[in-house]
Chains A and B, each alone.
Chain A
Amino acid sequence: MDRVIASYLPTSLYSLMSNQFSQEDLNDLEEIRLRVGHPAQLIFTQRHSFVDGFTFQATDAETLLARISDFSIYRLEEELKNGYITVRGGHRIGISGQVTVEGSKVQAITHVSSFNIRLASEHRGAARQLLPYLVDRHVHNTLLIGPPKSGKTTVLRDAIRLISDGTDQINPSRVSLIDERSEIAASFQGIPQHDVGQMTDVMSDCPKADGMMMMVRSMSPEVLAVDEIGRHEDVDSLMEAVYTGVQLLCSVHGFSLADIEKRPQLRPLIEQAVFDRYIILSHSPKPGSISAVYNRNREPITTALRGQAYEMDRSPSHSVNVHMGRT
């Protein structure tokens, strides 16, 4: 487990965790959930488990928050407003508790009672299997669709890295990433903590709509990557960006293409056929699996699940790209 996170956790919890779980288990850890008055919950890729003999107390919550902020809560004003804190190493800590409101706007979360420590995982090669659908001479305008925890962010991050660094088949491109929630590059004081490629410029914590225009004007990107589109303004500036000759790479929450078609804010994007590829991700059998790929006219290109263990590769093309997890 990551040393940064280990240093934040209460010592008693950390020693109990090391006793009760093996090192391999802890490497598989996705989330640590702490709620005041309840035992700590560990969420692994396939299962979840409680830590016996540890109850998270209100004082622990206070200490944890103090440690996260380096004993300087005053630095977290913006974060307490947004409900999450990005820490060194790109991990994301979601918080909830009592909210103070001023003028119908959330001022801050006080009395934080729940923490969700999401351990950032950088799966290199997560997007390799979908690269053939993404790139063919140039990068297609692509929309990644997936439910929460389906690995959208991980796949998007790896796709950005591959496009920006280039591979044997594709030439590197300049990528501009607007990382509104600091999830993709997980910038800490402006510097990406995850590898997003050598030709990637990151604008972190920036509203997508503004960020996209800023990037197009100032950084002359070839590919523009954004996470979790959905608001009206996002779609407007996406529409604008797409006609500036920039290729788009976006992700959005949803189970299927039908879900997306139904969302009123996203309708203009679908109707004007902005995207050349729709890639549906699912969390089974493992996060980041492709369940379907559609083309510009929303016709399926493939619905075969790829990249599974023991899968037989019968396709004539891209056999080099299909990465089966063997090295």
Chain B
Amino acid sequence: MKWIGALLILLTCTWVGLDIANYYRKRPRQLRDLLQALQIMEAEIVYAKQPIHLIFQYISTQLPYPVGFIFQTLADRCDEPQQSLDALWTEVICHQWHFTAMKEKERNIMVQFGQSLGRHNVEQQQKQIQLARVHLQHELEDALEEDKRFSNMYRILGVLSGLLFVLILI
């Protein structure tokens, strides 16, 4: 009986450690998706001059969950009457953000970017997109660094803390 309990504690701690490590691993991947989304957006705006809801639709088919899902939601809600785009953007981004592994900083960059979306001519819009991409690129570098530093650490820490609890309780 005692051994089963010990095993349960060990498994739980390992799982918690892996989960936290996973979070660090997912963040750069999702940031890359986001960067790719902005890149698609730039191309569609500058060359194809598509309306924004079609761009959202297109991005959502190109990218995996959760970034693709955010754009899917945006595309679906674009035809709601009397909703301004920046309000919709902010609402969707803030609402969907906890499904992602990304942090407050990235969210603020995206919200900020949303304020300018669809309000300027092509050149200005392109500049805004590039600005957002530069910011996100910085975050990506940070995220990669953290991934390298923390994901392994948390994984091992999980297992070791499990062992520690087991030893203490035995």
Please list the residues of chain A having a beta carbon within 8 angstroms of any beta carbon in chain B: 7, 10-11, 62-63, 66, 69-75, 77, 80, 108
Contact = CB atoms under 8 A, between A and B. Distances in A.
Given A74-B125, A75-B51, A66 B118 contact: yes
A11 B81 contact: yes
A300 to B, nearest CB: 51
Contacts of B118: 66, 69, 71-74
Interface residues of B, number: 18
Contacts of A62: 119
Interface of B: 45, 49-53, 78, 81-82, 84-85, 117-122, 125
Contacts of A7: 81
B48 to A, nearest CB: 10
A74 B120 contact: yes
Ranked nearest first, the 6 interchain pairs of A and B with the lowest CB-CB distance are A70-B51, A71-B118, A71-B85, A72-B52, A74-B122, A72-B51
A73 B84 contact: no
B62 to A, nearest CB: 19
Contact of B121 (A70, A71, A73): A73
A108 B119 contact: no
Given A66-B85, A66-B118, A71 B125 contact: no
A63 B51 contact: no
Contacts of B49: 72, 74-75
B54 to A, nearest CB: 9
Nearest to B124: A74
A72 B122 CA distance: 10
Contacts of B117: 71
Contacts of B45: 72, 74
Given A7-B81, A11-B82, A70 B125 contact: no
Given A63-B84, A74-B125, 18 more contacts: A10-B82, A66-B84, A66-B85, A66-B118, A69-B51, A70-B52, A72-B49, A72-B50, A72-B118, A73-B119, A73-B121, A74-B45, A74-B118, A74-B120, A74-B121, A74-B122, A75-B50, A108-B121
B51 A71 contact: yes
B73 to A, nearest CB: 15
B164 to A, nearest CB: 55
Given A7-B81, A11-B82, A70 B122 contact: no
Given A66-B84, A71-B52, A72-B51, A77 B121 contact: yes
A71 B125 CA distance: 12
